[in-house]
Amino acid sequence: CSIIVLAVKVLCVLFPHLPLQYEFLKRPQLGGHPAIVTHTQGSQRLVLDYSPDTPGIRCGMTLQQALSLCGEAEVISADIPRYWTAFNRILDSLEKKSPLVEGAELACAYLGLDGMHLIYRDERAVVDAVKEAIPQGLKAQFGISEGKFLACLLASQSSIGEYRTLNGNISSFLKDLPCDTLPVSEKSKQKLQEFGLRTLEQIANLAVGPLQSQFG
């Protein structure tokens, strides 16, 4: 499923903590207990996903660091091929709702909405139709905007099962969002934190030269 979504109005479907969601569906007895999903990189076990109620844990940190913050967490070895197989099935289902579907990365999908007004009466109807394509038990957030980046940010700020669309000034929406919402590596996010950059407004106020010198 690799159809490219053009630069039109798009719906972002975001599945927060998808690896962990899959593990909880497989082993419901884990529900309510803190958990960490790890993968191996070289000789290290790194955090791929984690329970959202485990403060301080971040994707990419070592398992040892994570357990120092939450020693009682259940440690689960990631089954990445299984996650992708299940996610690709979701993308196939979404193609029944829109002919333009892109699985940008695991847990994030985009649907092109160009012409969808001929099928659905409004944005709420589109989101409700997309929900029907999502397997029961999976949690998702939705965002609608011109362009994928903004749609993804809106989805990340919506409540589970709900959608956000932009009403008002884009700058006003962006300025208070944390740097963690940027689609960059965990290493870059950590570096932004070290420089004291916490919000997108702070980044937007910087000259391009200094940013490029530090981040490329």
Task: Give the pLDDT of residue 216.
Answer: 72
Task: Give the pLDDT of residue 9.
Answer: 86
The model's pTM is 0.82
Task: Give the pLDDT of residue 3.
Answer: 43
Torsion angles phi and psi, residue 191, rounded to 5: -65, -40
CA distance 91 to 108: 10
Mean pLDDT, each 10-residue run in order, the chain (216 residues): 55 95 90 90 93 89 94 94 96 91 91 84 92 94 91 92 84 78 76 84 82 78
The alpha carbons of the chain give a radius of gyration, in whole angstroms, of: 18
Task: Give the pLDDT of residue 50.
Answer: 95
Task: Give the pLDDT of residue 1.
Answer: 46
